[in-house]
């Protein structure tokens, strides 16, 4: 179990670095596009296309980080008033439902990885590249949710959290840090 938690933890750290790099690249690229269009009068043809590809990566990377950190928006005001045992049942049901959704995304995106003969207009990138982060990060999110369920069944193996972020909040569950 500890190995599974370490995999999730270190993969999340890597995803945070990737997310930061991708966000910086998006900002630089869009800024370059604006400068080329309005200052030089010659817009780059590739900025929007590459920014779209990077936004897909950024969206799924962010989703994976938020899933592990359990920082997504939750309307749990009624569940918090329920008995602890019922809260655990609802939490496990939510994780099982999340795994089902992530696996459906994987099933839907897998055929697009190999069967997309199309290329993008400006950069001539294979269109199937857009589906690699969708598939791979959905697999990771399903794995992280499964590890979270296992942490509930076999407590004591999750990596204890360190302060991570400006708000002093720490990763919990399968995304904890040492």
How do residues 63-94 score in pLDDT, each as one tens digit? 999 999 999 888 888 899 999 999 999 999 99
Residues 146-163: pLDDT tens digits? 999 999 888 877 776 544
Tell me what pLDDT residue 160 has. Answer: 60
CB 145 within 8 A of CB 138: no
Tell me what pLDDT residue 29 has. Answer: 94
CB 54 within 8 A of CB 25: yes
**What's the chain's average pLDDT?**
88
Output the six-digit token pair for 96: 């099982």
Does residue 178 carry a pLDDT above 70? no
CA nearest to 171, candidates 3, 4, 2, 13: 13
Kindly list the domain boundaries of the chain, sorted by start residue: 2-175
Residues 113-131: pLDDT tens digits? 887 788 889 999 888 898 9
Tell me what pLDDT residue 157 has. Answer: 74
Does residue 170 carry a pLDDT above 60? no
**pTM of the prediction?**
0.83
């Amino acid at each position: 179990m500890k190995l599974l938690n370490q995999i999730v933890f270190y993969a999340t750290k890597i995803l945070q670095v990737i997310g930061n790099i991708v966000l910086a690249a998006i900002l630089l690229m869009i800024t370059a596009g604006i400068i080329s269009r309005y200052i030089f009068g010659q817009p780059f043809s590739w900025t929007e296309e590459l920014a779209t590809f990077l936004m897909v990566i950024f969206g799924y990377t962010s989703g994976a980080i938020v899933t592990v950190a359990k920082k997504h928006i939750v309307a749990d005001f009624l569940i918090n008033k329920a008995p602890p045992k019922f809260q655990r049942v609802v939490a496990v049901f939510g994780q099982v439902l999340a795994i089902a959704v992530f696996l459906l995304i994987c099933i839907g995106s897998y055929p697009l990885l190999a069967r997309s003969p199309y290329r993008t207009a400006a950069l001539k990138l294979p269109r199937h590249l857009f589906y690699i982060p969708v598939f791979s990060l959905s697999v990771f999110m399903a794995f992280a949710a499964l590890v979270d369920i296992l942490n509930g069944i076999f407590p004591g193996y999750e990596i204890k959290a360190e302060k991570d972020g400006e708000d002093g909040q720490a990763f919990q569950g399968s995304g904890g840090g040492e």
